[in-house]
Structure 1
């Protein structure tokens, strides 16, 4: 078995964690005052702040609400939303440094185990837990034991990054499942033991107008993907045209014609439905199963169980990957008549991750995506769910967790919009 698929328990080093908290705050997030706005220093990511998060808006009441759920004598599973890659861990680390400095954090096995022995040792010393796809039992067991010590465990219930900060994707049940197991073990020793699922959400907003930088990034995407630019198009129209062109290429590859004059959302829905039907046939799923999330879950299981069928593996993997990629532009994209610069930036980052694979620049962008300009992170903390007093099922608890997270994100975005925190454009994806 490859090292990348072998779970190794973290070995947290408190001194290193404290040092990296300061490095994270200066080098990764805020940059160095006095240099971060001066040429040529503002072109150096480490001086400017790699994630370019200049300001952190974390109200005292929200911080205290999270602190109340953490600490000795209780088990806490901290569940942030997952709107952006790389910046996620930087902001999460800043949050846990203030509420539970020795909290363990889940991360993909490609990061923890896939960058060599030296980097694996570094990540384990920073208390990262490697998620092994299809084999997460050891990671869960370690998480429960660590949470029972009162240090806290952080994991993203959305799973992967979708690049849609205003929308919380459907949640995975892992945090609730581990929380219930921790409650059972904790109550065996202490009848009053408490377990908290502590949600956190954050929204990044540019601190100024970054249209010029977004135009430049859009031009790079168009050139990289050989998408012809329409001379009169605005920035949002150019982004929409890129996506429409990429969708047309997928339609051509799979032989699924689009209706004349159909919207992007309608064309996408037709293609996903057809590819879902073909995927279901390939893995012998009942035709009544049309939910794509369930189809993708069964496709992953089929691949694990049919490793000897090379031709079938390739077909199922290609279909599943295409459906998953197409679905990353959800119905939220066409729900509002206006679109912000932040949402345009997310579209461009999503396109680059999914389609641009030309060389080192694109590889670096997938691991360390660079923002179009300085930003502020607005952090909010919904009420935690006390599993020790929760009477519902696991699915009920997951649904309640999602509701609290989404309501808080929606409220934060509405407040920023009301205070002039966004620059808006007409949304070319919009469908009445």
Structure 2
């Protein structure tokens, strides 16, 4: 088995973790005052702040609410939302440094184990837990044991990044399942033992108008994907045209008619439906199974069980990958008549991640995406979910966790909009 797929327990080094907290705060987030706004130094990510998060808005009441659910004598699983790659861990690390400095954090095995032995040693010393796809038992066991020691365990219940900060994607049950296991073990010695699922959400907002920088990035995407810009299109219309063109290419690839007069959402739904039908047929699935999530899960299982069918593997993988990619633009994209610069930036990052893959610059963007300008992170803490007082099922607990996170995201966005923090444009994805 490759080293990348072998779980190695973290070996946290408190001194290194403290040092990296300062590095993260200055180099990764805020930048170096005096240099971050001064040419040519502000072109260097480390001086400007790699994630360019200049300010952190973390109300005292929210911080205290989170602190109250962490610490000795309880097990805590911290579950932040996951709107952006790379910046996620930087903000998460800033949060845990204030509430549970020795918290363990889940990360992909490609990061923890896949960058060589020296980097693996570094990440393990930073208390990162490697998520091994299809074999997470050891990681879960370690997480429960670490949480029982009074240190938090942080993991993203949304799974992968979707680049949609206003919407919390459906949650995975891992944090709740581990929490219930911790509760059972804790109650074996202490009948009053408490387990908390502590959600955190954050919303990034630009601190100034960044339309020029977004237009420059849009031009790069258009050039990379060979999409001709239409005259007189606004920036949001250019984004819509990019997606419509990519959708038309997918329709042509799979032999589907393209109705350019229909809405993007309607065309996308029709294509996903047809590809889902073909995928179900390819894996001999009962036609009654129409839920796309279940269909993709069955497809992954089919691939594991039919490794000898090379042609079938190729077909199933292509169908499943296309469906997943298309669905990354969800109904939320067309739900509102207005669109913000932050949402435009998310669309661009999603396109670059999913379609732009030919250059080193594109690879770097996937791992360390660069924002269009300075930002403020608005961090809020919903009420924690006490599994010690929650008698319902795992599914019910996950649904309640999702509700609390989404409600807090929605109220935070409304608060920022009311205070004039966003620049709005007509949304070309929107149809009455």
TM-score range, shorter chain: over 0.9
User: Is 1:267 aligned to residue 267 of structure 2?
Assistant: yes
Q: Deviations over 1:282-306 (max 9, x none)?
A: 1111101111111111111111111
Distance 1:309 1:9 in 2: 36
CA drift at 1:196:
0.2
Q: CA deviation at 1:72?
A: 0.3
Equivalents in 1 of 2:99, 2:281: separation in Å? 49
Is 1:322 aligned to 2:322, yes or no? yes
Partner of 1:313: 313
Between the aligned partners of 1:226 and 1:12, the Cα distance in structure 2 is: 47
Stretch deviating more after TM superposition (151-160 or 254-263): 254-263
Which runs of 5 or more residues in structure 2 are unaligned?
none
Q: How does 1:186-201 map to 2 (within 5 A)?
A: 186-201=186-201
For 1:363-402, list aligned pairs within 5 A.
363-402=363-402
Q: Distance in 1 between matches of 2:232 and 2:52?
A: 31
Contiguous gaps of at least 5 residues in structure 1: none
Matches within 5 A, 1:199-210: 199-210=199-210
Aligned-partner Cα distance in 2 for 1:122–1:263: 49
Counterpart for residue 335 of structure 1:
335
Q: Distance in 2 between matches of 1:247 and 1:351?
A: 12
Q: How does 1:169-184 map to 2 (within 5 A)?
A: 169-184=169-184
1:382-412, Cα deviation, whole Å (9 max, x unpaired): 0000000101100000000000000000000
Aligned residue for 2:218, secondary structure, equals helix
Residues in 1 aligned to 2:282 and 2:211: alpha-carbon distance in whole angstroms: 45
Question: 1:255 matched to which residue of 2?
Answer: 255
TM-score (norm 1): 0.99
1:123: which partner in 2?
A: 123
Shift of 1:309: 1.4
Deviation per CA, 1:370-390: give whole Å up to 9, x if none: 000000000000000000010
Which residue number corresponds to residue 233 of structure 1? Answer: 233
The 1-side partners of 2:8 and 2:311 are apart by 34
How far did residue 312 of structure 1 move? 1.1
Give the CA RMSD over aligned residues. 0.6
Could you tell me which residue of structure 1 aligns to residue 426 of structure 2?
Answer: 426
2:164 aligned residue = 164
Aligned positions of 1:77-92 closer than 5 A: 77-92=77-92
What SS does the corresponding residue of 1:430 show, helix, strand or coil?
coil
Distance change in 2, residues 1:260/1:204 (3 Å): closer
Number of residue pairs matched? 432
SS in 2 for 1:285: coil
d(CA) in 2 for partners of 1:285, 1:176: 30
Distance 1:137 1:168 in 2: 26
